């Protein structure tokens, strides 16, 4: 039976830039077998766009609620997106 792949977009609000959030998100996403990217936004938020199993995406969402030790997450917005066919997980500038 083939695994169903899903696409989610997370926007993380709080003190999430300059605290290794993107690098930590890449490490967690890779550990979970997800593909996609993470990037900083001009408004101080971080976006994570990822594809993989529903279970792995749920685990990433739970991780996003706290992030790395130096982060302070105020809220996480989640939405479903269109499949992009990412082949790896990367940190974008």
Annotated catalytic residue 41: no
Residue 1 is predicted with a pLDDT of 45
CATH: 3.20.20.140, 3.30.230.10, 3.20.20.70, 3.30.70.100. Which one for 17-84? 3.30.70.100
- Stretches where the chain sits below pLDDT 70 are 1-3
Q: Quote the CA–CA distance of 16 and 22 in Å, as a whole number.
A: 8
Domain layout of the chain by residue ranges: 17-84
Residue 25 is predicted with a pLDDT of 98
Residue 23 is predicted with a pLDDT of 98
> Tokens at residue 57, please?
């995406």
Which one of the listed residues 40, 41, 75, 92 is annotated catalytic?
Answer: 40
Annotated catalytic residue 40: yes
pTM of the model: 0.94
> Tokens at residue 91, please?
């940190």
3-class SS at 92?
strand
Which one of the listed residues 8, 11, 15, 22 is annotated catalytic?
Answer: 22
Q: Quote the CA–CA distance of 46 and 16 in Å, as a whole number.
A: 7
């Amino acid at each position: 039976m083939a695994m169903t792949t899903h696409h989610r977009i997370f926007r993380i609000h709080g003190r999430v830039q300059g605290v290794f959030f993107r690098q930590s998100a890449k490490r967690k996403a890779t550990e979970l077998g997800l593909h996609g990217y993470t990037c900083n936004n001009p408004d101080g938020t971080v976006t994570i766009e990822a594809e993989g199993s529903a279970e792995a995406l749920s685990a990433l969402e739970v991780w996003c609620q706290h992030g790395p030790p130096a982060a302070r997450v105020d809220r996480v917005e989640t939405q479903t997106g269109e499949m992009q066919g990412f082949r790896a997980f990367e940190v974008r500038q």
